[in-house]
Structure 1
Amino acid sequence: MEENEAGTNELVTLTLPGNLDELFCVEYPGNVQNVHNALATLGGESSVARAHHSSTPLGLKFRPDDIYCTPLTSPKEKATGLVLKVKRRRKKGDTKWSKCETEVLGVVGSKYEFKGMLDYQVFPPYETMATTRAYSTDALHDISLLKDETIPPFVLPTPLTKQDRPLEYSYQTRYRTDIQKKSYSYSKPLKTIAFDHKGPVPSEPTDSISPPSSYTRIHKLFEDCPVWTRNALTFHAGVLFPTYKAALPFIVYCFSNGPWKTAYIRFGYDPREHPEAKLYQVIELRVPRAIDLLDAIEHQPKKKDDVSNSNYTFSANIIPPKRGNYYRLCDIKDDTMQQVIHSNDGKEKSVCNEEYGWCEADTYGKLREMANKYMLARAKELNI
């Protein structure tokens, strides 16, 4: 907008040249009066460039010389913007501005925005300790420094928090009867084997204890399908996980690694011997860091806290409620992604692979790439 001779604002049309530089933006959480000092808190130009050309988050230390300063971090996020150079002149003695000149310097394609809090900081008891190598984390491996009586004892504590952003927490009161408490008051660990385990898979529980009351319902589900994830099992069982947790050691075992990791597998069933078990392989789909998860949850339809709304399937029009989410391949409700999964039907290799199971080697990578595009598109629709 610019002001014309009549004193009203009018729209200015810009013509974009075809050879614009691609720039990125750092939204600095402060009033920058000295650019050199601001760059120092970001680690210098080399650190900023290194973070921009890699997937490493950009760090910011308000006390760059203090080895104990806890940094703020920001991942690289997509952005859309322009950098403009605007000149506005007026003749000497004239009270009115002349027409302004506008020049487009570049296109902003990404940005860094520090959304965290600086609540957790450690300050050494002596000012000189902040820059002394003897108190750095790396120096703790030097036993001679620890024995030096001239150095006051001061050890950097472990991280005080895993999160630097405020999170929503819905406090709920759960009412349980004495019968419900008894049904899952006893729970033993599940049998777990490695993917390269030789010999037969576990076929029965080792203990001869009577199974809990939830056994019949869960056992019926595993007769219908030999492999379940927790979310899928909770949805089809119609009860919360703690209610049937004690029944699982009487029915299932687990793999500690491989394409069925985190899944519950029926005793006696070995998915490594059945190519059709490809549909039960588990994939982790992570919500991209460019999406603010709290905003996504607020903008999507609210779900009640019951198993009927358990989110165990993935589709193109949802953003999962957690940063990391595990799905069976059969629970991906998208035709294009299912085509990728079934691309080698009937052509599976003779030996199941520890990394990608019965799928093609690039199947998981393609699925994650497609899921990321779906989630980013959905976030754009929700304007988050």
Structure 2
Amino acid sequence: MSRQLSFNPRKEYELIEYPGRVVHPDRMLGTLGGIVNVSKVLGDEVKRLELRFHPQNPYNKPAFGDCTDKTGVLLSVTVRRHKRDKLRPPHYFVRVLGHCSRSFSFESLCDFQYLPLWPTPQSDNGLAATKLTYALEQTQPTDVTDLEFFKRGQSQLLCLPELFARVDLVHTGNYRIDGAEDGLQEVLGVLTKSTYDSYDVISFNMQDTFPTQADAQILKRLKVKYVSDEQFARVQKLFDECPIWTRIALLYESGVGTDKLKCIIPSLAFYFSNGPWRTLYVRYGYDPRKDFNSRHYQTFDFRLRFGTGVSEFVYSRKSAKLKMTSAAAAEEPKCDLVQNIDYPYFDEHKLPRSRQCMLRYCDVRIQKIQDMLEKIPTPLTGAICNERTGWLPPSFDAQVRQIVCATISDLLRSHYRKEHLMAEVEAVPQADEEDDGEDEETQEEDMELDDSQTMNSSENYVDKDIEQLFDNITS
């Protein structure tokens, strides 16, 4: 038989799951920093509760309790039994004292402990055994008035770090053993682990052989994605003409969409993740290490160093895509000075399409650079390329980068000079149409003289300013 007494719903308690058997509540509060420290932690939603097993030892590392949302009630159960008739069932009186909405639990790991325990020999004999002595009094004064502590010398030095371990949480790792894949399983329902699972990613080195054909699993993907024979033939024709391509060049030359091209490329070529041909797709069966003509297709990583006058034209690829979409929606005129974001080549009469351009050396359409590629001496028969620079000399990329930067500087210099001269010409007042013919001729002659002087002075002025604007580009 049980009976429930009154319940006060406004009375709320705080729950602390103490990791130990509490015999003396005062000592338990001492390990938590006292009632004052507990009150501060309970009043803060972020602060953690410290538990020190040796409160008087400053070298003791605390264990931290985290606050978690947990609902519970505090019950008081009183059992009354009959003293004479023990067979009579007892009476239970249940009383709800209050409720709690959160709790502090010590589930994290405690830091490593290094206590001031010094080895002390038990006798004067050097071979005698030693015992550990708790020497806390020798490392710190007992109170503020203990001046004798500063007079006696320390036998040993104790310097401990603030923390030994940076984290106090347990990280569990599950190791999975993948079975050998034979490529015969179905494509539908298979989740790719990364973005590179759809094609062969090869790390460039001088020892391993490169793949010669595509995996059977990749060929099945063509049927699932409904790739037409015409689209496949267009991409295959490009790889027959040139064995190495960039992704943006394949999109531009083939006219195939991105979703279809992702399925076609793995069946025709593999991908280099590093080396002289990194980020490029190479046709199966082609080894650029043995072909001297593959120097034309090596990767040229050009990154435009931004300065004054350049940032208003060239953006990152993502920003350029967004700007092109917004400009098309607002029907704004396009800038003819910058290449189209989908154009895979670099022309000397326009700025690059984005801040960073991954090009082949044959994509840089500057005659001076192409002549430099042709003048590289042919290696001996049986020679192989360098693992880092390929078939090119060590400083070839720096020379090409310097030529491209100089071309961009000249292009911007002529662009700003043209805009400045047009602004000067538009600022000249026009002659009055009602004046006499002689006055008109005189004014025209004066204007021609003024224009020539203005153009000469403005060219000198613009040249000085532009040289300062493009110092950081050519450097």
What is the TM-score normalised by the length of structure 1? 0.48
Q: Higher relative contact order by CA 8 Å / sep ≥ 6: 1 or 2?
A: 1
What is the TM-score normalised by the length of structure 2? 0.39
Larger Cα-atom Rg: 2
